[in-house]
Each structure stands twice: as structure tokens, then as C-alpha cells.
Chains A and B, each alone.
Chain A
């Protein structure tokens, strides 16, 4: 079963300029693995060297962030649309003491 994956502008250079592609899979993880197998250059932008989805890569199943579903184990069915949505982060230097406290409390997003 194939679902539609919406490709954001910065990644279209790796998908033959396509803004969406049909990819087979039963879960988000399967779909993304099949997507990166077809377009190898997507791998390093979507996944870290440890093979985990990068923290600033957000996947939506239809209008829902998969973080609030079952993350990469989230099931997909025919006519579902997966969107790859960037979050943008940056800055410089060490974190503030408040941010370290957030990390200690498991609240850090990045």
C-alpha cells in the first residue's frame, strides 16, 4: 500500500524535483526507510549518524504530528498523507542555566 509523502522545498533537489512521492509502507518508519532507500541523499538530512530521525525533522500524518501519535511506529493507511515539516533552530555558545534545568527535567526539545 502506498501513501503520499509531501517533500518540503529544501529536499526536492534529492527527489528529482518532485514535491510529493508515493511510497509503500504500513508505518511511518517503513515509509521513511523506503523513501530514503529510493532517494539515498535524503538519508543524511532526515536521519542522524546514529540512525535516528533528526530532532528538527517533524513528520505529520495528515494534520497530526506523529510525536503525539505513536511516533515512527504510527500506522498509515491508504489516502493518508505524510508531510515532512522542518522546525528551524540555531544560536551560539553554551545553554543558559535555565535550559540545562529543562534538559535535566526532560523538557528540552532539541
Chain B
């Protein structure tokens, strides 16, 4: 499944990552599943609940998920994924990300280097509970940027 985001929401995610640097930012992607792809229409930036290790951990509490889900339904949308940043670290999922991931949801990861937002990548959890890159498109411009991984595991992710 591919995910489609408007440029405006991509910019908001990048700004959020910049604002919270050197800590991780996190938030919810609201949208719809349409013609076999997820379309993000809005984002909900949230506070990182990990006060003990905010530079390299993030947590969205279940009560925030319940609240976000209610908000999504009120707008006729649903939660289609989440985003978080990796301050001074590549935009690739870690083992910790994988262990805590859910299937179906899109996981966007933003690398923030020395306070500047860089790569934004999209990932999905497989049935076997491993991450693989998800195709990411900018909504409206017809421009598809495919994220791919080399056999060595290093990513040539699209920089959006």
C-alpha cells in the first residue's frame, strides 16, 4: 500500500521535528484508505510522553490514541499512521521501533540533523513483524517517490 501526503502536512512534520530538536517529536496521521492507498489529510502533533529519554524515545499514550481516534471520526477520517523524528540519527526504523510497531499503520520517520530536518521516510510492518519501505507520494502533484532498500540494508530513501 502507498501513502500520499500533501506538501503542507510534510512541512508541518518537518517544522515539528525542528521545534522539538534535540528531542523526538511525534504525532498522528489522519486520513482515509482510498483505492488501495492511504491518503493523509491532516496531522495531529502530540507531546512526546517519554519525559525520561525524550532525545531517543517517543511514546503516544493509549488515551491520546483514543482521543485522536474520536477526533478522526468526528472529521470523517481515521488514524492511518504516525510520525516521529530521529534527532541526529538516520531516518530508518530501529529495532526498538520494530518491536513496538503495529501492522497496517504507516510509520513516518524524519531525520533531524543538528536541528535541521532532512530525510522523511515511510515504513510498514510486515505480517512477519519486520519493517519494509512504503511508497510515499506528494498528494496532488502526481510525483511518485519510491523508497527502496539495497540488499545491504542501507536505504536510498526519498528526501521530501
Chain A positions near chain B (C-beta within 8 angstroms): 8-11, 13, 41, 44-45, 55-56, 58, 60, 65, 85-96, 98-99, 101-102, 107-110
Given contacts A60-B66, A96-B52, 12 further A-B contacts (CB under 8 A): A10-B102, A45-B129, A60-B62, A87-B59, A88-B59, A88-B82, A89-B50, A91-B84, A91-B96, A95-B52, A102-B52, A108-B52
Q: Which residues of A contact B89 (CB under 8 A)?
A: 92-93
Q: Which residues of A contact B117 (CB under 8 A)?
A: none
Can you sample 27 A-B contacts with CB below 8 Å?
A: A8-B102, A9-B78, A9-B79, A10-B105, A11-B103, A45-B102, A55-B100, A60-B66, A87-B61, A87-B65, A88-B82, A88-B100, A89-B57, A89-B58, A89-B60, A89-B96, A90-B58, A90-B84, A90-B93, A90-B96, A91-B24, A91-B57, A93-B56, A95-B53, A95-B56, A98-B53, A99-B57
Q: Which residues of A contact B139 (CB under 8 A)?
A: none
Q: Which of B50, B94, B104 contacts A92 (CB 8 A)?
A: B94
Total number of B residues with any Cβ neighbor in A under 8 Å: 34
Q: Which residues of B contact A90 (CB under 8 A)?
A: 57-58, 84, 93-94, 96-97, 100-101, 107
A58–B62 CB distance below 8 A: yes
- Chain B 86-97: CB-based contact to A (< 8 A → 1; otherwise 0): 100100011011
A91–B105 CB distance below 8 A: no
Q: Which residues of A contact B60 (CB under 8 A)?
A: 87-89
Q: Which residues of A contact B103 (CB under 8 A)?
A: 10-11, 13, 45
Q: Judge if B55 is at the interface, Cβ distance under 8 Å.
A: yes
- For the complex formed, measure the closest distance between the CB of A11 and the CB atoms of chain B, giving whole angstroms: 7
A13–B52 CB distance below 8 A: no
Residue of B whose beta carbon sits closest to that of A109: B59
- For the complex formed, measure the closest distance between the CB of B16 and the CB atoms of chain A, giving whole angstroms: 15
Q: Sorted from nearest, which 3 A-B pairs have the closest CB atoms? A: A91-B57, A10-B104, A99-B53
Q: Which residues of B contact A87 (CB under 8 A)?
A: 59-62, 65
Q: Which residues of B contact A11 (CB under 8 A)?
A: 102-104
- For the complex formed, measure the closest distance between the CB of B8 and the CB atoms of chain A, giving whole angstroms: 23
- For the complex formed, measure the closest distance between the CB of B75 and the CB atoms of chain A, giving whole angstroms: 15
